[in-house]
Amino acid sequence: MLEGKTFFFIGAGNICESMVKGLLSAGMVRPGEIRVSNRSNGERLNFLRNYYGIVPVTDKKTAAGESDVIILAIKPQDIFPALEELAGSIKENQLVISVLAGIPTSLIEDGLGVEVAVVRAMPNTSCAVLESATGLSAGRYTGPEQLRLAEEVFRMVGEVVIVEESLLDAVTGLSGSGPAYIYYLVEAMEKAGESAGIPRELARPLVLKTLMGAAKMLLETGEKPEVLRRQVASPNGTTMAGINELNKGNFQTTIRKAILRATHRSQELGRIIVEKQYAHQ
C-alpha cells in the first residue's frame, strides 16, 4: 500500500525529523518521495536535504496538491496560517495526517474546506529508532483504506493503537510526552549515581542498560510490572529501602498528576484554538 507513495511534511521540526529518519531507515520510503517545508528557516531545510536527501519545498500549494500523504507537523498555535496556505490545493483522494497535540480533526477538515480524509496521530520522537508508540483516530471523511494507510505509515516506525478521538489527548499525555518523562528519570538516576560516588561516564551505561533490561523483561516475560518489581525487592533489602523513599515523595501520585496535567494541557490547547476558530467566523 505504501509503495511509491509521496509524503509532504508541513513543519520541519523535531517530530518531522524523527519521522523522516524512521521512515527512511525502515526502508519502505525513498528520500525523493519525502517533501518537507518549513516556515522561514532555509538552513533547516538545507540540513534535512543534505543529511537525509529529502526534497525541500517552498511552494507548499503545489507540493500539497502533488503528494499522496500530507503530514501536518507544526505547533498547534500555527495551525490557521498553515490551513489557509493549503486550502484549495488538497483534494478528496489525498490523506492528511495531523500530529498536532490537541487539535481536533474537525477543525482541520473545516479549515481545508474539502471532504478529505484526516487522521489525527500522536506518535513520539522514538519514531527515529522505529520504536514509537502511536495513537491514531479517524476523522469524519476517513474511510477504512485511508485509516489503514495511516496505520501502515506509523507501523513502519513503531507500534500503533487506534482509539476514539476523545482519547487522543490522554495518549498525548501518556506516550506522546512519555519519552521526556523517561529521559528525566534517566537524568535523575545519573545525578543520583554521581551523588553516590559513581562517575557520570559509568553511571550512564549502568542506567541505560538497567532501563533497556527492564523494558525487555516486561516485553519478553509478559509479567505484570508489580510482579517483576517484587522479584527485585527483597524483604528489608536495598530496593525496599529505595522504594520507601519514592513513596515518601508520592511517586505514583506525582506520575499520575504529570500525565493528567499533560492530558489537560492537550485538551486546553485544542479548546483555545477551537475558540479562536469560532471567533474568526
Ligand X SMILES: NC(=O)C1=CN([C@@H]2O[C@H](COP(=O)(O)OP(=O)(O)OC[C@H]3O[C@@H](n4cnc5c(N)ncnc54)[C@H](O)[C@@H]3O)[C@@H](O)[C@H]2O)C=CC1
Annotated binding site for NADP(+): 73-76
Can you give the binding site for ligand A1CAB, defined by CB under 6 A? 101, 172, 176-177
Paired strand residues for 251:
none
**SS3 sequence of 241-278:** HHHHHHHHCCHHHHHHHHHHHHHHHHHHHHHHHHHHHH
Report 59-78 residues binding ligand X (CB under 6 A).
73-76, 78
Q: Which stretch binds ligand X (CB under 6 A): 4-12, 139-147, 182-190, 256-264?
A: 4-12
Query: Could you say which of ligand X, ligand A1CAB, none residue 31 binds, taking C-beta under 5 to 8 angstroms by partner kind?
Result: none
Cβ 263 to ligand A1CAB shortest distance, Å: 11
Please choose which of ligand X, ligand A1CAB, none residue 271 contacts, taking the beta carbon within 5 to 8 angstroms, the exact cut-off set by kind: none
Interface pick for ligand X out of 100, 150, 207, 273 (rule CB under 6 A): 100
CA dist 82 and 60 (Å) reads 10
By CB under 6 A, tell whether 264 contacts ligand X: no
Q: How far is the CB of 5 from ligand X (least distance, A)?
A: 21
Contact region with ligand X (CB under 6 A), list: 61-69, 94-102, 137-145, 196-204: 94-102
Minimum gap (Å) between residue 232 Cβ and ligand X: 30
- Provide CB contacts within 8 A for 59, sequence distance 6+: none
Cell numbers linked to 87:
486550502
Nearest residue (CB) to ligand X, 82 versus 207: 82
Q: ∠ at Cα 143 (139, 148), nearest 5°?
A: 95
Could you identify the residue written with the cell 529521559? 183
Q: Tell me if 139 contacts ligand X by CB under 6 A.
A: no
Binding-site member from 7, 8, 15, 119 for ligand X (CB under 6 A): 15
User: Whole-number minimum distance, CB 210 to ligand A1CAB, in Å?
Assistant: 24
Site string for ligand X, 162-201 (x = CB under 6 A): --------------x-------------------------
Which one of ligand A1CAB, ligand X, none is in contact with 123 (Cβ closer than 5 to 8 A by kind)?
ligand X
Binding site: which residues?
Answer: 73-76
DSSP codes joined into one string, 159-216: EEEE--GGGHHHHIIIIISHHHHHHHHHHHHHHHHHHTT--HHHHHHHHHHHHHHHHH
Give CA–CA dist 48/92, Å, rounded.
29
Minimum CB–partner distance for residue 233 and ligand X (Å)? 33
Query: Please, what is the minimum distance in Å from the beta carbon of residue 51 to ligand X?
Result: 15
Strands lying side by side in the sheet with 95-98? 55-56, 34-37, 7-10, 69-72, 95-98, 117-122, 132-138, 158-162
Q: Residue 192 corresponds to which cell in the numbers above?
A: 543520583
Per the CB < 8 A criterion, the answer to whether 115 and 98 are in contact is no
166 burial level (CB within 10 Å; 0-12, 13-18, 19+): exposed
For residue 110, the minimal CB distance to ligand X (Å) is: 17
Applying CB under 6 A, the residues found at the interface with ligand X are 10-16, 37-39, 41, 73-76, 78, 81-82, 85, 99-101, 122-125, 176
